[in-house]
Amino acid sequence: MEIQDNQHLYNDADIERAARCLKAMSHPLRLKILCVLGTEAISVQDIVEKVGTSQSNISQHLAILREKDILNFKKDANRVFYYIDDPRMLKLIEMMREIFCNQC
């Protein structure tokens, strides 16, 4: 079903995707991971060091973000690098930084 107002056309599939993404991002650790990544591709070990928790914990949260199509990854030898490849997601994270982060 599509709903149209004066300027926008809303599609149910888009609304559902947005809700899934926002739900996945709502966990504080996952949000911190996304803020750490920003526009960079960062290895799991570097994410662990920057976020400050165990690798197994980070891996679980990375899997959730990957499953929701928020993150993508690439392998280089024995290292895995995660990155945000959706420009809309990058824009959302930047907007959240501007609104909620006092020292960003």
pTM score: 0.81
- Looking at residue 12, its pLDDT comes to 87
**pLDDT tens string 9-19:** 678 888 888 88
**pLDDT tens string 37-92:** 989 999 999 999 999 999 999 999 999 999 998 999 999 999 999 999 889 889 99
What domains sit in the chain, N to C, each tagged with a CATH number? 27-100 (1.10.10.10)
Q: Which residues of 11-34 are buried (b: 16+ CB within 10 A; e: fewer)?
A: eeeeeeeeeebeebbeeeebbbbb
Is residue 48 within 8 A of residue 54, CB to CB? The reply is yes
Report the distance separating Cα 73 and Cα 82, nearest Å: 4
What are 9's two structure tokens?
A: 């056309």
Residue 5 above 60 pLDDT?
no
